[in-house]
Amino acid sequence: MKSFQIPVFYKSEIISKIKNIRRDKNPRKKDYSPTELDFGTVVFLISRHFGFCYGVENAIEISYKAIEENPGRKIYLLSEMIHNPEVNRDLQERGVEFIMDTAGNKKYDIKKLKQDDIVIIPAFGTTIEIQKELSEKGIEIIKYDTTCPFVEKVWNRASLLGKNGFTIILHGKYNHEETRATFSHSKENAPTLVIRDIEEAKSVRDYILGRIKKTEFLELFKGKYSDNFEPETKLKKIGVVNQTTMLATETEEISNLLKDALTEKYGKENINKHFADTRDTLCYATHDYQRATYALLENSADIAIVIGGYNSSNTTHIVKLCAEKLPTYFISSPKKILSKEAIMHFDINILKEIETKSYIPDKEKVKIILTSGASCPDSMVESVLLRLLSFFENTINTETVIDKLLSGNDITSEH
């Protein structure tokens, strides 16, 4: 896989060693068990997969290259490059201005851009409408386009399916940047319907099987389908694609549900004419991170710390999985760990940052799950680890623990 040039301040010597060891021992990624770091009075279970993914590293490399190559020129990002506040803040401090917020609300009028201005397209991609608006201004949009290759893969598959007469069911959050971009590209070649979750998928199933009326269906999905979407005719042939940061297991569940509905209506022998297999469009990184989280949770632990931007979809899914099993604290940076007695963290149920006291249990040996989303730098994970480690007495030296990993001893946790 390609190696990207990202700023050194996003890297971590400790985390890099751990990742390299796991990569060397298991290059095919078949072992999703976590890495165990036993410091004596505290044990960390580190996820097999976490931190910057391929698409994020690609976006970061291109963004910082744009800054380096264009001194003195105005540089704009269409919106947050990735959902990480520290990364976006650093870009802004280097003079990069954001044109829109994550919801698509404009902070800067594109009409005011000049032909020699630099515009970076974020990893989520952008809509065809915005691409056209930038091109009409004479702005070069290809050189600094950081759209994730796996997002583009979804666009290409949707286009191909549309040309073969299939309607696209897009599993995603309708107002998310990536879903807005994918919807824009998909609807150019195929009728497209956006659904949020398995419950909305059940409504699609019920319409296919004649259980709900057209008026009820259209009202339920108002504003979430393309102009060329007509449910009476366009739900006879479908393919399911997703916002790449959605929970892969839910996308598969939605696909199976709709496939079963079409099988019931048209017969198993005809299903290939009515349902397209799109499993190969699932993002490998999202799949790996979520599989690694499931493997983490097969181990006993006292608490979980998950690091990432609060508006990060893939991180939020990891938080939800962990929270089903044990006390989980979602933080955006090491600064949120106020002390051993208090932590500021984001509650995904009330969508608000709150403070929790006595979050670390008072016991002889504490076990902490530690992981992050795909837009979190390794340096931040290291800082969180060292911050937590500093609260415990009589711990084994960090270098000694890492040397033990390097020596070839078993580094994966036992259930």
**Residue 63 contacts residue 52 (beta carbons within 8 Å):** no
Position 411 pLDDT exceeds 60: no
**Residue 30 contacts residue 24 (beta carbons within 8 Å):** no
Q: Is 178 a catalytic residue?
A: yes
pLDDT of residue 157: 94
State the virtual CA torsion across 15, 20, 25, 28 in degrees, nearest 10: 100
pLDDT of residue 281: 80
pLDDT of residue 80: 83
Give the pLDDT confidence of 165-185 residue by residue, as tens digits.
Answer: 999 999 999 989 999 999 999
Task: Tell me the three state secondary structure of residue 75.
Answer: strand
**Residue 153 contacts residue 147 (beta carbons within 8 Å):** no
DSSP calls for 173-194: -TTSHHHHHHHHHHTTTS-EEE
Q: Which domains does the chain have, with CATH numbers?
A: 8-53+285-406 (3.40.1010.20), 54-136 (3.40.50.11270), 151-281 (3.40.1010.20)
Q: What value, to the nearest 5°, has the Cα angle with vertex 92 and ends 185 and 60?
A: 55
Give the pLDDT confidence of 69-110 residue by residue, as tens digits.
Answer: 999 999 999 988 888 889 999 999 999 999 998 878 888 888
pLDDT of residue 406: 80
Give the pLDDT confidence of 105-148 residue by residue, as tens digits.
Answer: 888 888 899 999 999 999 999 999 999 999 999 999 999 999 99
Residue with the bigger pLDDT between 158 and 80: it is: 158
DSSP calls for 266-301: H-GGGHHHHEE--GGGS-HHHHHHHHHHHHHTTS--
Residue with the bigger pLDDT between 279 and 210: it is: 210
Residues 6+ apart with CB under 8 A from 204: 169, 193, 195, 217, 235, 258, 261
Position 414 pLDDT exceeds 50: no
Residue 27: burial class (beta carbons within 10 Å; 0-12, 13-18, 19+)? exposed
CA distances to 59, 106, 139, 273 from 120, rounded to whole Å, are 9, 15, 11, 40
**What is the reported pTM?**
0.89
pLDDT of residue 83: 85
The candidate with the shortest Cα–Cα distance to 124, out of 94, 95, 97, 155, is: 155
pLDDT of residue 107: 87
Q: What value, to the nearest 5°, has the Cα angle with vertex 369 and ends 368 and 370?
A: 110
Give the pLDDT confidence of 228-255 residue by residue, as tens digits.
Answer: 999 999 999 999 999 998 988 899 999 9
The Cα 16–Cα 11 span in angstroms is: 7
pLDDT band for position 415 (50/70/90)? very low
The Cα 13–Cα 18 span in angstroms is: 9
Q: Exactly one of 178, 216, 355, 393 is catalytic; name it.
A: 178
Give the pLDDT confidence of 357-390 residue by residue, as tens digits.
Answer: 999 999 999 999 999 999 999 999 999 999 999 9
pLDDT of residue 243: 94
- Which two tokens mark 366? 């504490």
Position 413 pLDDT exceeds 60: no
Give the pLDDT confidence of 22-56 residue by residue, as tens digits.
Answer: 988 888 888 999 999 999 999 999 999 999 999 99
The Cα 96–Cα 116 span in angstroms is: 15
Helix, strand, coil in percent for the chain, rounding step 5 = 45, 15, 40
State the virtual CA torsion across 201, 205, 207, 212 in degrees, nearest 10: -80
The Cα 373–Cα 53 span in angstroms is: 9
- Which two tokens mark 274? 């009515």
Determine which of 20-29, 159-168, 181-190, 298-307 has the lowest per-residue pLDDT on average: 20-29
pLDDT of residue 405: 85
Position 226 pLDDT exceeds 80: yes
- Which two tokens mark 15? 């985390």
